[in-house]
Amino acid sequence: MTTDRISQHPSFAAPLLPLRRQLLAALIASPSIPALAQFRVEVTGVGLTQLPIAIAPFRGEAQSPQKIAAIVQADLERSGQFRAIDASGAALDETARPDVALWRQKSADSLATGSVTRLADGRFDVRFRLWDVVKGQDLGGQSFVVTQGDLRLVSHRIADFIYEKLTGERGIFSTRIAYVTKTGPRYSLWVADADGENAQSALSSPEPIISPAWSPNGGQLAYVSFESRKPVVYAHDVATGKRRLIANFKGSNSAPAWAPNGRTLAVTLSRDGGSQLFTVDANGGDVRRLSQSSGIDTEPVYSPDGSSIFFVSDRGGAPQIYKMPAAGGDAQRVTFSGNYNISPSLSPDGRWLAYISRVNGAFKLHLMDLNSGTVTALTDTAADESPSFAPNSRLIVYATQQQGREALMTTTLDGKIKARLAGQGGDIREPDWGPFPK
């Protein structure tokens, strides 16, 4: 069974048409419609252990351009590890000692309270506190003074604090993702918050852009741009907009992947005929051929320790995922079921391989446990593409099609909690999840 919830108002559990659902969300969320209209978390399956948490509306939120409690709640829900308890109407802030019995009665284990105050200089003072309402214990809090433009970032930092306190793992809500949109004849590469909001344009072009890949330090994006009417690989410093050519050889240049040390990229080049794997220096030059096959070798990705490269090859007659030493050498086949397995992505903890497998003509996101070789299908959509792991290895972002439109989704590794990310209008695709901030 599938239930859909509007994350900032979880009591709306009844199945609603998508448009109606968004309208409702907009009504509830007003006046900040753009920020909230698209928050939606889909929960499938049962038997989940989720931490029940109540996020009280932040005092002063009505005067704030960003509804902090709703952003924090949507972040936590999207992680799959939290279940939101309705806290609407609660009049609490970080200085108040909550009536823990009341929150226990609502079956919350924890409660977050806070406030946002506009200062005389136009900045905002944001404070919060986290409570363990089972033990009646104060778990700490934080305060920030930020410009209006950083209110979302602060909300994500609060969600990270809560996530870390309650799960013991690092949160990914204040990381960034890159993605590409196609709107009319224009292609744009965006850098956005991990919830898809707050997108900033890094590149705009009349020709396609594909395969963005964050550098390990999160400062640069490598990608394939067709702006010279052929595929060419660039590296782009996001803060300055400075770009440099990584591979612009005769023929096609594509599929950039950073080595974990950030000094080398693996790419696919057709300069010697066919599509084969090479490494190039991150500053250009020093081109070395990695693979020697008569078929297609493409979509390289480095293992997190940098020792091997996973890639796609049709050397066996159909595309399958292989792995080989990072300096080149004998390849071992990794995927065995199905006759079309592409787009490998490795979790930063090295345990998981996400990839796209064609099943009865549908392209579906799959996950392999690299220790056991066990494979799970994670979605029931039919045109999944380009999986990429969150830096804490707990979520995967991928592109798919919903109601004929391209969309970005996140999923937990068990496939049970999915969220559609907000984004620009038009078709949205090619997500890549950036690293933890250094």
> Which residues ranging from 363 to 382 are in contact with other proteins (CB under 8 A)?
363
Q: How many residues at the interface with other proteins, by CB under 8 A?
A: 79
Q: Judged by CB under 8 A, which of 29, 222, 342, 396 binds other proteins?
A: 342
132 belongs to the binding site for other proteins (CB under 8 A):
no
- Sheet strands (E) in 45-185: 51-55, 82-85, 110-118, 124-132, 137-146, 176-183
- To the nearest whole angstrom, how small is the minimum distance from the Cβ of residue 423 to other proteins? 15
**Could you say whether residue 61 binds other proteins (CB under 8 A)?**
no
Q: Are 322 and 331 in contact (CB under 8 A)?
A: yes
Residue 34 within binding range of other proteins, rule CB under 8 A: no
Find the largest Cα–Cα distance for the chain.
Answer: 71
Q: Footprint of other proteins on residues 91-120 (CB under 8 A)?
A: 94-97
30 contributes a contact to other proteins by CB under 8 A: no
Cβ of residue 208: shortest distance to other proteins, in angstroms?
A: 4
Residue of 201, 205, 191, 195 lying closest to 173 (CA atoms): 195
Taking the complex as a whole, how short is the minimal distance between the CB of residue 143 and other proteins, in angstroms?
A: 5
Contacts of 195 (CB under 8 A, 6+ apart): 39, 71, 74, 75, 78, 156, 173, 421, 422
How far apart are CB 413 and other proteins at their closest, in Å?
21
- Asked if 12 interacts with other proteins (CB under 8 A), we say no
Q: Collapse the DSSP code of 287 into the 3-class scheme (helix H, G, I; strand E, B; otherwise coil) and give the result.
A: coil
71 burial via Cβ count (<10 Å: 0-12, 13-18, 19+): buried
How many Cβ atoms from other residues are within 10 Å of residue 412's Cβ?
A: 19
Instruction: Give the x/- contact pattern for other proteins in 192-231, rule: CB under 8 A.
Output: --------xxxxxxxxx-xx-------x----xxxxxxxx
Q: Find the shortest distance in angstroms from Cβ 46 to other proteins.
A: 33
**Using CB under 8 A, which of the segments 5-13, 88-96, 163-171, 411-419 binds other proteins?**
88-96
Which segment (8-16, 84-92, 278-286, 338-346) binds other proteins by CB under 8 A?
338-346
Query: Is residue 28 a contact point for other proteins (CB under 8 A)?
Result: no
Shortest Å distance, C-beta 306 to other proteins: 21
Do 292 and 277 form a contact (C-beta atoms < 8 A)? no
Asked whether position 142 contacts other proteins by CB under 8 A, the answer is yes
Q: Which of 248, 293, 303, 424 binds other proteins (CB under 8 A)?
A: 248
348 binds other proteins (CB under 8 A): no
**Is 345 among the residues that bind other proteins (CB under 8 A)?**
no
Continuous segment of H or E residues that includes residue 428:
strand 427-433
When asked if residue 434 is in the footprint of other proteins (CB under 8 A), the reply is: no
Taking the complex as a whole, the smallest distance from the CB of residue 15 to other proteins amounts, in Å, to 27
CA angle 233, 238, 240 (to 5 degrees): 110
Measured between alpha carbons, how far is 255 from 73 in angstroms, rounded to an integer?
A: 36
Q: Of 264-323, which residues contact other proteins (CB under 8 A)? A: 268, 270, 273-275, 296, 298-299, 312, 319
Q: Is 359 in the site for other proteins (CB under 8 A)?
A: no
Site membership for other proteins, residue 64 (CB under 8 A):
no
Minimum distance from residue 190 beta carbon to other proteins (Å): 8
CB 104 within 8 A of CB 221: no
Assess 386 for contact with other proteins (CB under 8 A).
Answer: yes
Element (H, E) at 221: strand 220-225
Q: Which residue, 165 or 416, has its beta carbon nearer to other proteins?
A: 165
Measured in whole angstroms, the distance separating CA 177 from the mean position of its chain's CA atoms is 6
Strand partners for 302: 309
Q: Select 271 or 416, whichever has its Cβ closest to other proteins.
A: 271
Task: Tell me, letter by letter, the H, E, C secondary structure of 315-383.
Answer: CCCCCEEEEEECCCCCCEECCCCCCCEEEEEECCCCCEEEEEEEECCEEEEEEEECCCCCEEECCCCCE
| Binds other proteins by CB under 8 A, chosen from 21, 157, 366, 418 | 157
Q: Give the containing element (helix H, strand E) for 200.
A: strand 200-205
**407: contact with other proteins by CB under 8 A:** no
Q: Is 140 an interacting residue with respect to other proteins (CB under 8 A)?
A: yes
3-class secondary-structure state, position 159:
helix
Choosing from 52, 60, 141, 304, the residue that interacts with other proteins (CB under 8 A) is: 141
- For position 343 contacting other proteins by CB under 8 A, the verdict is yes
Alpha helices in 94-198 (DSSP H): 100-105, 151-167
Identity of residue 50: Q
